[in-house]
Structure 1
Amino acid sequence: MIKIAPSILSANFADLGREVQRVSSADWLHVDVMDGMFVSNISIGVPVVKSLRKVTDLFLDVHLMIEKPVRYIDAFADAGADLLSVHLEADMPPGIRAALDAMDRRGIKKGIVLRPITAAEAVLPYIKDVDLILVMTVEPGFGGQKFMADQLPKIAAIRKYIEEYNPSCHLEVDGGVDPVTARQVVEAGADVLVAGSAVYGAADAEAAIRALRGE
């Protein structure tokens, strides 16, 4: 079953509690954390995740676009994240492994993320140990970008790796997902779709979620 994870990056931050309730029929809630260093933008951090945890039972899918993410695993676990995903480009391999080990110690689900420039093969050292692989179909750091169709072969390649090495691992796609591109990424092998403006920019967020599911 395809899971829909609305991204609060596109929500109205002045009324975030209500914005979360607008997407209550979603499966997960996607939270983009940016540090102004790994990416040029700065978004939200631990206090917002902690506040979200108090107002929703949705699965909190927290995407860390931060350098050396091992430094913040405990803080986001304490805040209530259900899953943390870290960019393979954000640290050297020992640092990425340390971040995943820290997630294990805290009992939260583990994810890795690839920027568009990163090859599918980069997941292989980690694939047996993670719960989710996230493929970015835009450059990380800003919402509202155009979907990069040249990432579809990468999604398909990673789906094959998952089937071979870790069939229970989710394959998530984030960037430019709308009802049209959703079908493309699902056909390529994705089973979790992150959508920001396609959901929060719609007059009826619940209808937008249904459209992403193909209903």
Structure 2
Amino acid sequence: MNRTPLIAGNWKMHGARSEAVVLARALTETIGRVSGREVVIAPPFTALDPVGQVIAGSQIRLGAQNVHWEPKGAYTGEISTAMLGEAGCTYVIIGHSERRQLFGEVDETVNRRLHAALRAELVPIVCVGETLAERDADATAAIIERQVASAFPGASSQLVGLASDTTAGRVRILYGGSVKAANIDALMAEPDIDGALVGGASLDPAEFTRIVCYEETQG
């Protein structure tokens, strides 16, 4: 089943509001009318509103870098699905490796955030992956399988049999990890990769434009 490729740019904790607006305007000019793929940018929370205004009417969608599972309450430093929706977000990144490694994110909280996003009709970009130590210990497969099973069943090719064809067909597998213009063509030529979650390279308009406009393999 063919799935529309998804390229998402995670701006992390970079850029003041004014810088985010300049970057968003540049991307709107180069990829604002791109077709054949979905494009998402996830600026810092403080820049969601102004960036959303810049990309309004274009093909670029607005995403957030995190979300809490509760609708409101005494959760200092967190943000709710309603707040993200009010800012114009339609996507949200959940369980990024930096959240797991630096802020104690665990599979259980990833699952809670995922379900909150789905209830709010936000499209979740759920991140899974091993640490360097886990890779060195040859634990990659076990770690990823556990993380996927904890977030949602049926997301990978090994688990497709547990889900309906409709569910499996809607799940896109993105590659994340030093995605650049120099390697995007090769990555997107892989049959099991449906897109990319781009970090630092998404802060360079020319680089991110080239990534979004990757060359498709014929055949």
TM-score tier after normalising by the smaller chain length: 0.5 to 0.7
Q: Distance in 2 between matches of 1:179 and 1:195?
A: 10
Q: Distance in 1 between matches of 2:12 and 2:203?
A: 9
Aligned in 2, Cα 1:84/1:5: closer, same or farther, shift over 3 Å? closer
Aligned in 2, Cα 1:11/1:22: closer, same or farther, shift over 3 Å? farther
1:173 aligns with: 175
Contact 2:107–2:151 (Cα < 8 Å) also in 1: no
Equivalent residue letter for 2:8: A
- Deviation, 1:200, is 4.0
1:6 is matched with which residue: 9, 12, 23? 9
Q: Distance in 2 between matches of 1:87 and 1:176?
A: 17
The alignment's TM-score, normalised by the length of structure 2, stands at 0.60
1:76 aligns with: 84
- Give SS of 2:51's match: helix
1:15 equivalent in alignment to 2:43: no
CA RMSD of aligned residues (A): 3.4
- Deviation, 1:170, is 1.5
Aligned in 2, Cα 1:184/1:62: closer, same or farther, shift over 3 Å? farther
1:113 equivalent in alignment to 2:127: yes
Contact 1:127–1:162 (Cα < 8 Å) also in 2: no
1:87 equivalent in alignment to 2:90: no
Q: Distance in 1 between matches of 2:182 and 2:152?
A: 29
Q: Distance in 2 between matches of 1:182 and 1:10?
A: 23
Q: Distance in 2 between matches of 1:203 and 1:111?
A: 24
1:50 aligns with: 49
The alignment's TM-score, normalised by the length of structure 1, stands at 0.61
Deviations 1:119-159 (A, max 9, x none): 22020243348xxx7xxxxxxxxxxxxxxxxxxxxxxxx45
1:185 aligns with: 187
Q: Distance in 1 between matches of 2:211 and 2:124?
A: 28
Equivalent residue letter for 2:79: Y
1:126 aligns with: 151
Rg larger in structure: 2
Equivalent residue letter for 1:29: V
Q: Distance in 2 between matches of 1:205 and 1:168?
A: 25
User: Structure 2: where are the runs of 5+ without partners?
Assistant: 70-77, 132-139
Q: Distance in 2 between matches of 1:86 and 1:200?
A: 20
Aligned in 2, Cα 1:191/1:107: closer, same or farther, shift over 3 Å? same
- Give SS of 1:5's match: strand
Q: Distance in 2 between matches of 1:183 and 1:6?
A: 17
Deviations 1:84-122 (A, max 9, x none): 2321841452x3333233223322222321243272202
User: Structure 1: where are the runs of 5+ without partners?
Assistant: 33-43, 134-157
- Deviation, 1:192, is 1.9
- Deviation, 1:201, is 3.4
Identity of aligned residues (%): 11
Q: Distance in 2 between matches of 1:181 and 1:204?
A: 11
Aligned residues: 171
1:201 is matched with which residue: 199, 204, 209? 204
- Deviation, 1:20, is 1.0
Aligned in 2, Cα 1:124/1:208: closer, same or farther, shift over 3 Å? closer
Equivalent residue letter for 1:63: Q
Q: Distance in 1 between matches of 2:160 and 2:185?
A: 20
